[in-house]
Structure 1
Amino acid sequence: MANTKPHAVCFPLPIQGHINGMLHFSKALHFMGFHITFVNSEFNHRRVLRNAGLASLAGLPDFRFATIPDGLSSPKDDTDKSQDLAALCVSTKRHCASPLRDLIKALNDPCSGGPPVSCVISDFFTSFTLAVTAELSIPSIFFCSASATGFLSAVYLEELKQRSIIPLKVGVSLWKEDSSCIEWLDEKDRGSVLYVNYGSIAVLTNDQFIEFAWGLANSGCEFLWVIRPDLVEGENALLPPEFATEIKPRSFITNWCTQKEVLSHPAIGGFLTHCGWNSTMESMCAGVPMICWPFFADQQTNCRFLCSEWGIGIEIGEDVKREKVERLIEELMGGQKGKEMKRKALEWKARAVKAASIGGVSWINLDRVIKEVIMK
């Protein structure tokens, strides 16, 4: 019966946040009976294999990974750095159409071992796939995470209550994940640790980096801080020696971690975040309130709703000063407002759990998407 399954080719914009969103949706379709071919760029495929090993992309007989080139020159070293977003978008648009067309043709070959392609689900930012699918007479569907809808319309509270929230455990990480931070969290009191992560693209100036560092140090709070190798613009992220001495007993600093596992850990009491949509939803699903420092794109919109509409976020502001960082951490982790934010965050978690349960609105909406959009 494997060759009678509907076959979806899923192709995200090849950056961490978009890969995660598309992968979660692909896993949900797989659960609902689809054969999946998930398309990574060759550059990202190599990164994942280097950091997580061959088994990480082994897939299943009916969930396979494929690769196409992104058109950019590969870096000379193996340092984990994000590709330039603007250059990647331009290159993807110019160079990925032909390889994607060839891949779909190969998948439709009877010798491929899988069912013919039923549809191509592409990222909102890879609209060139429309021409490819039109040429091959295959339906093309845009996948828009809620972050993308921030460009199109406001995301209202009532809409979010109905939005599909499907917390799946499988992910593709472009950075090598450090699981030892979980052992460190296991030794901490409930709700005592602030988690700090600016996502996979946001870049800080050295001054911003130092202000955040001293705000964390001066707050007296225990914290887990993810510092990517490319976090600081144009240079390595070097902490002052006196800072390291100050925070050593109460901090854990790493290059990358399993964020969902961290956010769901009982020791986590707050999240200092760039407000990317994946991070926003993962924090809400874990019942963790946020300190918001939006960087670009939809993140300002997400921040506004977190802080002004949903009551589970407080904003630092564009001009980062250590005194404000310190004050907001203290307010979130120990103040009265922080307690109220935690209460509201747990309400959102309960809604997410209910929505993701069998028969909940998440599964009802997914079934509607399959019947009314994908298989129409």
Structure 2
Amino acid sequence: MATNKPHVVCVPVPFQGHINPMFKLANLLHSRGIYITMVLTEFNVARLASSSSTESHFLEGFNDFSIEVIPDGLPPDNKRSVFNLHEVCYSFQAVQGEPKMAIRSLLMRLLESPDTPPITSVISDSMMNFVPEVCIELGIPLLHFFTTSACGMLGYMQYDELVKRGDFPLKDESYLTNGYLDTSIEWVPGLIKEARMKHLPTFLRTTDPNEIIFNYLAESARNAKVAAGLILNTFDDLESEVLKEIGKVITNIYTIGPLPKLTQQANEQELLPLSGSLWKEDDNCLEWLDKRSPKSVIYVNFGSIAVLTPEQLKEFAWGLANSKHPFLWIIRSDLVIGESNIITEDCYREEIKDRGLISSWCLQEKVLQHPSIAVFLTHCGWNSTLESIGEGVPMICWPFIGEQQMNSLYAGQEWRVGVEMEEGSVQREGVEGLVRDMMEGEKGKELKGKAMEWKKKTDEATKPGGSSYNNFNKLVRNLAGKENHC
């Protein structure tokens, strides 16, 4: 029988970096007495089930937490990788496409079901563009969850302006290399003065006016402006100027990050044993780290979507090895484009045998919390960046796609917790030099000190009375109908 609990339907984008924060948010809301329906794609349900380490199958559900499954509209053999983003966008924007029809049917069924509480709100990832229209049609309040940084989101909010100014599309391909991307974007209020065209989300780098990802994400930014509220995984002190600018067009903003730190404040007995990992995690990483000295290990992870060429992998590999410092390197199965055997070659294995561990996936939050971790070599995805800031770990930044370039800029220039590598280019001497600077030099000491200052600020934001803690309480009250959304 249905209860009188508030019922929130959560719809994440079906990629790892979006699923993780939505799972955390849903778990926190559930711990506060809200009935949750999590909507996942068929493809990812299979991946989550195969990677789960919990004894009970997570699809069996928990009290007041259910899983619903929809198709993503892609064929079974589609790899759903960075190279298939166009196909994902095509599927998600189709007027009569499978995802849109499925979410409509699902919401209608839940609205009529006597076995679940009436739906009170939908929280949709802002990049699920087929959800808003359905919610408007069915009269369901919709909140958007933008899983990027606020500075990254502000970049996406400029996409329409780029078209108006004639800056999109690029005039020709020479604009990718002739210095045009170094043009200042001081016309964007709220961003730091160092921001350039190259720091705006990378999907503008095309000569095609019909570039589907650019236009799709421009629509996502527009949709966020008309929702009942906007949820951001950041905190006020970290991105205050950017948040002020966003707040001029979106007034009902909930800054509730970092979500991992907010989760640490929750009562463990009230949280569900949920994992949003699409890869099976290797616990041996933590055992290996236990044997290392404090602040001695470089952690290397380029996230769930970035890819390397074999040559880039080789340069990173020898740069890390030549630094002579211990490192833990996560190399997922689809990280490298093409064939590469550098990490399995006997000479390389021999070189790193006493100080390098290569693993396929890990529980990153636990790794960054480990006392042996000194530096994080990262792609600057927002989850990774925020988790690193939250644990006081400085970064070597090598951005790959989307808003990661903006995250890298802010990490280096505004928050002073990272050093920026040149985008795309990798030389082993450069990698070795940056690692040595961070581990042995004055620059490293400076950034470690600043990172610890930001860790303290994340703790303050997420503890009782902090800005994120209070904003989360406000979100819960609104979802429970105790305050108006507007």
Which category of TM-score, normalised to the shorter sequence, fits these structures? over 0.9
Per the TM alignment, residue 234 of structure 1 is displaced from its structure 2 partner at its CA by 3.1
Instruction: Show structure 1 runs of 4+ deviating over 4 A.
Output: 79-83, 153-159, 370-375
Matched, 1:221 2:336: no
Paired with 1:142 and 1:33, the residues of 2 have a C-alpha distance of: 21
Query: Do the aligned partners of 2:342 and 2:348 also contact (CA within 8 Å) in 1?
Result: no
| Whole-Å separation in 1 of the counterparts to 2:455 and 2:134 | 40
Alignment-derived partner of residue 164 in structure 1: 256
Aligned partners of 1:315, 1:218: CA distance in 2, in Å? Answer: 20
What's the RMSD between the two structures over aligned residues? 2.4
1:274 to 1:217, Cα distance in 2 relative to 1, 3 A: same
Q: Retained in 1: the 8 A contact 2:81–2:305?
A: no
The verdict on how the C-alpha distance between 1:48 and 1:210 changes in structure 2, with shifts beyond 3 A counting, is same
Go from structure 1 to structure 2 and tell me whether the alpha carbon gap of 1:57 and 1:332 turns closer, same or farther (over 3 Å shift): farther
Q: Of 66, 69, 84, which aligns to 2:68?
A: 66
Q: Which has the larger displacement, 102-111 or 82-91?
A: 82-91
Distance 1:314 1:360, change over 3 A: same
**Pair 1:364 & 2:431 matched:** no
Letter in 1 for 2:106: L
Alignment check: 8 A CA contact 1:6 1:34 kept: yes
Do the aligned residues in 1 keep the contact of 2:6 with 2:480 (CA within 8 Å)? no
User: Which residue in 1 is equivalent to 2:11?
Assistant: 11
The 8 Å contact of residues 80 and 174 in structure 1, kept in 2 or not, is answered as: no
Instruction: Give the CA deviation at 1:68.
Output: 0.6
If the length of structure 2 is used for normalisation, what is the TM-score? 0.72
In the alignment, the residues of structure 2 paired with residue 59 and residue 298 of structure 1 have an alpha-carbon distance, to the nearest angstrom, of: 34
Following the alignment from structure 2 to structure 1, what is the Cα–Cα distance between the partners of residues 57 and 294? 34
Give 2:295's aligned residue: 191
1:321 has 2:413 as partner: no
Name whichever of 233-242 and 9-18 sits farther off.
233-242
What secondary structure is seen at the aligned counterpart in 2 of 1:325? helix
In the other structure, the counterpart of 2:336 is 232
Alpha-carbon separation, structure 2, partners of 1:203 and 1:24: 26
Match of 2:107 among 88, 104, 110: 104
Structure 2 distance, partners of 1:125, 1:374, is: 25
Contact 2:236 2:467 (C-alpha < 8 Å) held by counterparts: no
Which string of whole-angstrom CA distances, capped at 9 and with x for unpartnered residues, describes residues 96-120 of structure 1?
1111111112222333x22011111
Aligned match of 1:36? 36
Report the Cα distance in structure 1 between the residues aligned to 2:90 and 2:57, rounded to whole angstroms.
31
Q: Is the 8 A contact 2:120 2:479 kept in 1?
A: no
**Separation in structure 2 between the aligned mates of residue 291 and residue 195 of structure 1, nearest angstrom:** 10
For 2:30 and 2:236, the matched residues in 1 are separated by 28
What is aligned with 1:45?
45
Cα distance between partner residues in 2 of 1:373 and 1:146: 22
In 1, the alpha carbon distance for the partners of 2:383 and 2:356 equals: 24
The alpha-carbon distance between structure 1 residues 107 and 181, as it changes in their structure 2 partners (threshold 3 A), is same
Tell me: CA distance 1:22–1:237, structure 2 relative to 1, closer, same or farther (3 Å): farther
Cα deviation code 1:180-235 (max 9, x no counterpart): 11000000000100000000000111111111001001000100000011111133
Counting only pairs closer than 5 Å after superposition, residues 329-340 of structure 1 correspond to structure 2 as: 329-340=435-446
Contact kept in structure 1, 2:310 and 2:337, CA below 8 Å:
yes
2:57 alignment partner, SS class: helix
**Is 1:262 aligned to residue 367 of structure 2?**
yes
Q: What runs of 5+ residues in structure 1 fail to find an aligned partner?
A: none
What per-residue deviation string (whole Å, max 9, x for no partner) do you get for residues 66-110 of structure 1? 11111111239xx99778223223223333111111111222233
In 2, the alpha carbon distance for the partners of 1:140 and 1:19 equals 18
Give the distance between the partners of 1:258 and 1:179, measured in 2 at CA.
8
TM superposition score normalised by structure 1 = 0.92
Gaps of 5+ in 2: 158-187, 193-234, 241-254, 265-273
**C-alpha contact 1:7 1:35 (8 A) present in aligned 2:** yes
Aligned residues between the structures: 373
1:69-88 alignment, distance < 5 Å: 69-75=71-77, 84-88=84-88
Give the Cα–Cα distance (whole angstroms) in 2 for the partners of residues 350 and 57 of structure 1.
37
Q: Which residue of structure 1 aligns with residue 412 of structure 2?
A: 307
Distance, in Å, in 1 between the alignment partners of 2:110 and 2:339 is 43
Q: Does 1:355 align with 2:461?
A: yes
Q: Who is 1:128 aligned against?
A: 130
| 1: CA distance, partners of 2:363 / 2:80 | 16
C-alpha contact 1:2 1:62 (8 A) present in aligned 2: no
Query: Secondary structure of 2:376's match?
Result: strand
Which amino acid in the other structure matches residue 234 of structure 1? G
The counterpart of 2:313, out of the listed 206, 209, 231, is 209
Q: Distance in 1 between matches of 2:148 and 2:366?
A: 22
